Amino acid sequence: MDQYLPLVVMFVLAVGFVVLSLLTSKLLAPDRPTQAKQAPYECGIVPTREPARRFPVRFYLVAMIFIVFDIEIIFLFPWAVVHRELGAFGLWAIVAFIVPFFLSFLWEIAEGGLDWGPLARSRSLGVLTGPERATAPSVRVVGLEGRLAARPEGRATVAVGASSGGDAGGVGH
Amino acid sequence: MTGDPLFADGFDWVVLAILVAKAVIGFTIVVVGVIFMIWFERKVVADMQNRIGPNRAGRWGLGQTLADGIKLIFKEDLKPDRADKPVFRLAPYLSVVPAFLTFTIVPIGGVFTGGNDGGVELFGRRTWMQVADPPVGVLFLLAMSSIAVYGIMLAGWSSGSKYPLLGSVRATAQMVSYEAALGLSVVAVVLLSGSLSTHDIVAAQAGSIFDWNVIATAAVPFVVFCVAATAELNRPPFDLVEAEQELVGGFHTEYSSIRFGMFYLAEFMNTITMSAIIVTLFLGGPAGPVLFGPPLIWGTLWFTLKLLVFLFIFVWLRATLPRYRYDQLMDLGWKRLIPLSLGWLLVIGAISIGRDAGWNRPLTLVGAFSLGVISWAALIGAMRVAKLRRGGDEFGELSTATERVG
């Protein structure tokens, strides 16, 4: 356990550094809050919309996929340290571990689970310039799965990422 | 070798004094380093953009960072009323503290050649020239970079504002994605060194330049690590976290005063630490020829020189490359770097085991690489399938029903 003591000392020093900096600032800096100062940043205009509470579910998926990879890496580390003692058996074991993993990774890619870009191929500007543009509600589309069927006929949802700003324009589906 | 010999023969006041002194020295190096790193970056970027850069505070503007810091301390610390106050206060700590802690495992000098084990004598005690040498070594690096994600994520989430939230969501996905590639390229280094301790990794590279992991692993894990490290640091060309044109300041938009300064410091500390880690893992740390005089000085000198090269490269990248688009960033991380480093790791493992077991070397190589090519082809195939499905029947109606202009 002794080997970790310097880390504790460094931790104390680092926390002390932050505390001291913040404390100095608290003592020396003015504190005159106004409503305008405390409002969320909006490039100078009055904020009109609540900050987004929803963002693309893809971000959660990435975290979930990462957990699988992380577990794999955790298993690889002990093998890497003792791989010479384990010899060929260890190598075949790790190959047997990685092959199914890699196949499921391929399946996931083929399913589009790791696709991020805009649907470039299906882009057409017709809907943006046509009469629908004005009547369509500007509901932001967070995820497309399961939404296409549920929508009432004739009410096309147009999310103009560039002008409505707000959400993760271009990051989503 | 198991850890720092400082603790080998019991624990007393001298040991404690050395330990604290080392921690203070490491702390000072990081703080002074970050002051000069910020100046260095501004000056070099200015030169590359045909500007002068900071030149008022002190000679060559060297005091600029200090002046900025003092200015920030005197600025009003705004807390947005929508903010989640406790988390808002906690986030800078979660950013800065890991930045300091990561530097502890970096060996900044020592003689490893000619039967030496890299130790130095201090008041009759032997110790390594690094603040700490925990047995988990490299895992500690990965753990700290994971905790740094929390700092950025919570900072953005607790601000109660849209730009920081988007910045932090992007940051989390980006850092988490590249951490997998980072971890896999580190495994290749661990495979060759047979140890997780940074001291042992440096000791294993002490011989000639061919023992350096960048050459011993045939450069691929090194390249993957450098790219993943740049993404982990949120530095250009992967700085989508604080893409000014889209997200104002990214996750720290709502932060002001020295609280903002803390994130700024953490960012540059991480740059220094990550460069030091690259040097340690792949370029032999303090390894290098001793020309004259005491070898101890040369170790630290070589380490510093290698470090400066990487710091310059990070600045150079920032001045040169345009920012990646988000889907390009994710594609590069998941579909290129991760499979590449995973496959390369298996090839290195097969070669290493084949050498012990006396396998036919060319045959092993040909077999491993042909398997690699097949896997890569399968990967490209999977990506083609995904692309066809996106543009094909499944989403075919999108072009008329739903449109998303990214």
Least confident of A25-29, A54-58, A100-104, B136-140: A54-58
Reported in sequence order, the residue ranges of B62-153 that DSSP labels E, i.e. its strands, are: 119-122, 125-128
- In A71-130, the residues whose Cβ lies within 8 Å of chain B are 73, 76-77, 79-84, 87-88, 90-91, 94-95, 98, 102, 105-107, 109-112, 114-119, 121-124, 126-128
pLDDT given for residue B391 in this prediction: 64
Mean pLDDT of chain B: 84
- pTM of the entire predicted model: 0.82
Whether omega before B237 lies within 30 degrees of 0, making that bond cis, reads yes
Find the CB nearest A55 among B77, B169, B331. B169
Is the CB of residue B389 less than 8 Å away from at least one CB of chain A? yes
Residue A130, Ramachandran bin (φ over 0: left; ψ between -120 and 50: alpha; else beta):
beta
What are the residue ranges of helices labelled H in B321-360?
326-331, 338-357
| Chain A residues inside the 8 Å CB shell of B165 | 51-52, 55
Which burial class, exposed, middle or buried, applies to B12 when counting CB atoms under 10 A from its CB (0-12, 13-18, 19+)? Answer: exposed
- Convert the pLDDT of each residue in B260-282 to its tens digit: 889 889 989 999 999 999 999 99
CA-based nearest residue in chain A for residue B332: A114
**Whole-angstrom Cα distance, residue B385 to residue B374?**
16
| Chain B residues inside the 8 Å CB shell of A76 | 184, 187, 345
- Of the residues A12, A28, A122, A148, the best mutation for testing chain B's interface (the one with the most B CB atoms within 10 Å of its CB) is A122
Q: Are A25 and B161 a contacting pair at CB < 8 A? A: no
- The separation between CA B307 and the C-alpha centre of its own chain, rounded to angstroms, equals 12
pLDDT given for residue B28 in this prediction: 92
Dmax (CA) of chain A:
73
- Quick one: pLDDT band at residue B212, thresholds 50, 70, 90? confident
| Chain B residues inside the 8 Å CB shell of A29 | 73-77, 257
**Whole-angstrom Cα distance, residue A53 to residue B162?**
9
pLDDT given for residue B149 in this prediction: 86
Q: Are A66 and B96 a contacting pair at CB < 8 A? A: no
Residue with tokens 């590249």: B178
- Quick one: pLDDT band at residue B393, thresholds 50, 70, 90? very low
What is the percent of chain B with per-residue pLDDT over 90, rounded to a whole number?
17
**Whole-angstrom Cα distance, residue B127 to residue B72?**
39
**Whole-angstrom Cα distance, residue A85 to residue B131?**
31
User: Parallel, antiparallel, or unpaired: how do β-strands A158-159 and B403-404 relate?
Assistant: parallel
**Whole-angstrom Cα distance, residue A173 to residue A63?**
16
Is the CB of residue A43 less than 8 Å away from at least one CB of chain B? yes
- Quick one: pLDDT band at residue B98, thresholds 50, 70, 90? very high
pLDDT given for residue A126 in this prediction: 54
- Of the residues B81, B200, B400, B402, the best mutation for testing chain A's interface (the one with the most A CB atoms within 10 Å of its CB) is B402
**Whole-angstrom Cα distance, residue B327 to residue B351?**
35
- The separation between CA A20 and the C-alpha centre of its own chain, rounded to angstroms, equals 33
CA-based R_g, chain B, Å: 23
**Whole-angstrom Cα distance, residue A90 to residue A86?**
5
Q: Which of B218, B148, B230 is nearest to B182 (CA)?
A: B230
Q: Which of A77, A76, A14, A7 is nearest to B134 (CA)?
A: A7
Find the CB nearest A41 among B100, B248, B331. B248
pLDDT given for residue A47 in this prediction: 67
**Whole-angstrom Cα distance, residue B123 to residue A131?**
84
- Quick one: pLDDT band at residue B307, thresholds 50, 70, 90? very high
**Whole-angstrom Cα distance, residue B176 to residue A66?**
7
**Whole-angstrom Cα distance, residue B323 to residue B320?**
10
Under 8 Å between Cβ of B34 and B275: no
Find the CB nearest A7 among B132, B139, B334. B132
Least confident of A43-57, B264-278, B307-321, B359-373: A43-57
Give residues with Cβ within 8 angstroms of B359, minimum separation 6. Answer: B353
Q: What is the mean pLDDT of residues A104-124?
A: 71
Under 8 Å between Cβ of B140 and B105: yes
What the block records as the tokens of A141 is 């589309």
- The minimum CA-CA distance between A28 and chain B, rounded to whole Å, is 6
> What is the Cβ-side half-sphere exposure of residue B98, based on CA atoms within 13 angstroms?
23
In this predicted structure, the answer to whether residue A69 has a pLDDT above a threshold of 60 is yes
- The minimum CA-CA distance between A100 and chain B, rounded to whole Å, is 12
CA-based nearest residue in chain B for residue A34: B78
Give residues with Cβ within 8 angstroms of A55, minimum separation 6. Answer: A142, A167, A168, B165, B166, B169
pLDDT given for residue B208 in this prediction: 81
Q: What is the mean pLDDT of residues B130-147?
A: 87
- The separation between CA A123 and the C-alpha centre of its own chain, rounded to angstroms, equals 24
**Whole-angstrom Cα distance, residue B333 to residue A59?**
14
Q: Are A25 and B80 a contacting pair at CB < 8 A? A: no
Is residue B119 helix, strand or coil? strand
In this predicted structure, the answer to whether residue B394 has a pLDDT above a threshold of 70 is no
Under 8 Å between Cβ of B272 and B28: no
Q: Are B326 and A112 a contacting pair at CB < 8 A? A: no
What the block records as the tokens of B261 is 């300064």
DSSP B357-375: HT--HHHHHHHHHHHHHHH
Q: Which helix (H) or strand (E) holds A16?
A: helix A5-28
Q: What is the mean pLDDT of residues B112-140?
A: 80
Under 8 Å between Cβ of B257 and A28: no
- The minimum CA-CA distance between B82 and chain A, rounded to whole Å, is 7
> Amino acid letter at B94?
L
Domain residue limits, chain B: 5-324
- In B265-324, the residues whose Cβ lies within 8 Å of chain A are none
What the block records as the tokens of B259 is 């609280």
Under 8 Å between Cβ of A7 and B130: no
In this predicted structure, the answer to whether residue A70 has a pLDDT above a threshold of 80 is yes
Q: What is the mean pLDDT of residues A2-22?
A: 89
In this predicted structure, the answer to whether residue B313 has a pLDDT above a threshold of 90 is yes
Give residues with Cβ within 8 angstroms of B116, minimum separation 6. Answer: B110
Q: Which of B3, B163, B168, B333 is nearest to A1 (CA)?
A: B3
Q: Are B100 and A141 a contacting pair at CB < 8 A? A: no
- In B169-198, the residues whose Cβ lies within 8 Å of chain A are 169-170, 172-173, 176-177, 179-180, 183-184, 187-188, 190-191, 194-196
Under 8 Å between Cβ of A56 and A143: yes
- Quick one: pLDDT band at residue B207, thresholds 50, 70, 90? confident
- In A136-155, the residues whose Cβ lies within 8 Å of chain B are 141, 144, 148, 151
What the block records as the tokens of B163 is 């730009």
